[in-house]
Amino acid sequence: MQKALVLSVGGSSEPLIYSIKTYKPNFIYFLHSKDTREHVDITLKEFDYDSSQYLLKELKNPQSLEESFSKSREIISSLKKDYDVHVDFTGGTKPMVAGLVLAAIGEECKYSYVGSNKGREGRDKDGVGVVVNGFEEIISQKDPYDLYAVVEFNRGMDFFNKYQFTAAKSNFSAASEKLEDENLKELANLYVNLVELYDVWDKFNNLIADKKTLNRYLENQILKKINDSENIRNTLEDEAPGFLSQIEANIEFLKLKISRKGSINLKNVKYYLPDLLNNASRRIEEGKYDDAVARLYRATELIAQTGLAKEGFIELGRLKSWKIFYIDLNAVEQCDNEEVIDYVKSLNEYIYRESNTGIGIPLRKSFILLDKFNCDYATDYLNDSDFSKKLSNRNNSILAHGLNPISKEDAENLFESVLKYSIGVFPEIEKYMEMAKFPKFKE
C-alpha cells in the first residue's frame, strides 16, 4: 500500500522538509494555519510533487483544540482507506499538535516528530527551543491506544457487560497478542479466562476446562490469580467496583447449585431456578424477548418440579444420570395421601412413561399434583387466568408454536409473574438471584 504523510505546520519549513525526505511519501497532507501557509509553499519547492500528490487543510483558529481535532479526523478518514498513514506532529501550536495526535489514536497510524540527535545541544534557546538545522532526527512514537490495547480492552469490557461473550473473548485475546507490557498481558489473559467461564455458565453448563466445576474454576483459577496479583486486583477495583465481591458471591452460589463433579442432587434443584430467572433477565436486557419468554416458560415448569422435589416425588436416579425430571412411582405408592395416589393413577393417558418406575407429566398437571399437597402457590397458579394468558403468548410465539414476536412489555410482565410463583416454592429466591448475578465492568 502507498504511504501518506500528514504534517502539522508550524513556524519553520526545515522539519517538514526533513520528514518528507526521510519517508518519501506518495501523498502529503498539510495541516496549517493562515500564518504558516508560506512554510507549505517553501517546503513544496524542495520537491517535485504535482498538485494531485498533496492537499492542504487550513485551521481558522490554530488555538482551538476542537477545530484541530475535527479537521485532523477529516484528513485521516480521507486517507486511511488507500494509504498507510504516517503522522508527523513536529510543527504547529500545542492545540494543533494535540488535536492531530488525538484524531490519529486508534486509527492504526504511525507517529513521529523531528527531534534533535544531540539532545539539548541540538536545540536553540539553551537547549529548549527548536531543533537546529543539521541536528534533525526522526523520533518514532507508538500509538498509546495500540500500546496499551485501549480499544480492545474497552470493547471487550463493553461486550462482557452486554453478555456478548464470544466478541468479548475475541477482543481480550487480541489485546493479549498486541501487548508488550507484562502486567497488561497478565490482565488480558485473566479476562479471557473470565469470559470463558461466564460464557459456559450462561449456556447452562456446570463444567468447564478439564471437567472442573464452575465454582472450583472460578475460585481456584480466577479469584486466586486476582488475589495473587496486586496489579490485577488494583486494576479491577478501579475499573469495576464491586466486581470482586460479586465473583465471591457467584462462587458461594455455585457451591450450592453444583454438587461434586457437577452432578445433581435433589437439594440442588431449587438453585437452578434463580439461575434460570437471571438468564431470562439477561435476555430481556439484551432485547431478546422471545428467548427470555422461552426461558420463563421453562422456569414455570421448574417451579413445579422444584416443589415436587421438595415433596420427595422426583426420581433421583434419572435426575442424576440424565438431568430430567420424572415422578417417582415408588414414592407415590408409599405416600399416605390417597388423593395423590389416585391422581397419579389417573394420568396414564397423559404421561410420558420411560419405565415402570417413573413418569413425566405436563406443566399444568404438575401443579395439580402439587395442589394435592395443599401448596398455596400451586392453588394460586391453577386459579390465575391472567397468568395463563401470559403463558399463551409464549405458545403463540415464533420460538414455540406460532409466528408472533414477543414484546418487551410481555416479557417483563411474564417475568414478574414467574418470579411471584418462584417465591412461593423458594421464599429466599431473590437473595440467591442477587448472588448469582454476573459481575460487570464499570460502564
pLDDT digits (tens, 9 = 90+) for 37-94: 999 999 999 999 999 999 999 999 999 999 999 999 999 999 999 999 999 988 889 9
**Is residue 118's pLDDT more than 70?**
no
Average pLDDT score over residue span 94-114: 88
Is the Cβ–Cβ distance between 378 and 370 less than 8 Å?
yes
Amino acid identity, residue 89?
F
Count of residues in the chain: 443
Alpha carbon 318 to its chain's center? 36
Q: Is 287 helix (H, G, I), strand (E, B) or coil?
A: coil
H/E element holding 248? helix 243-257
pLDDT digits (tens, 9 = 90+) for 343-352: 988 886 555 5
Residue that wins the pLDDT comparison between 86 and 266: 86
| CA-to-CA dists, residue 35 to 5, 64, 68, 118, 253, angstroms | 21, 15, 15, 30, 67
Who contacts 29 (Cβ-Cβ below 8 Å, separation ≥6)? 4, 5, 6, 7, 54, 55, 56, 57, 75, 78, 79
Is the Cβ–Cβ distance between 301 and 246 less than 8 Å?
no
**β 54-59/212-213 pair status:** unpaired
Average pLDDT score over residue span 13-31: 92
Distance between CA 37 and CA 59 in Å, rounded? 10
pLDDT band at residue 114 under the 50/70/90 scheme:
low
Pseudo-torsion of CA 309, 312, 314, 315, nearest 10°? Answer: 140
For residue 305, count other CB atoms closer than 10 A to its CB: 26
Task: Give the range with max mean pLDDT: 343-347, 353-357, 398-402, 405-409.
Answer: 405-409
Tell me the whole-structure pTM to 2 decimals. 0.80
Pseudo-torsion of CA 250, 256, 260, 265, nearest 10°? Answer: -140
Residue that wins the pLDDT comparison between 379 and 317: 379
Distance between CA 142 and CA 144 in Å, rounded? 6
C-alpha cell at 416: 414478574
- Among 302, 320, 275, smallest CA distance to 370 is for 302
Per domain, the residue ranges of the chain are 2-147, 150-261, 264-436
Distance between CA 366 and CA 16 in Å, rounded? 82
CA 438, 253, 297: angle at the middle one, nearest 5? 70
**Is residue 23's pLDDT more than 80?**
yes
2-147: which CATH number, 3.30.70.20, 1.20.1050.40, 3.30.70.141, 3.40.50.10770? 3.40.50.10770
pLDDT band at residue 133 under the 50/70/90 scheme:
low
**Is residue 132's pLDDT more than 60?**
no
How many Cα neighbours within 13 Å face the side chain of 21?
13
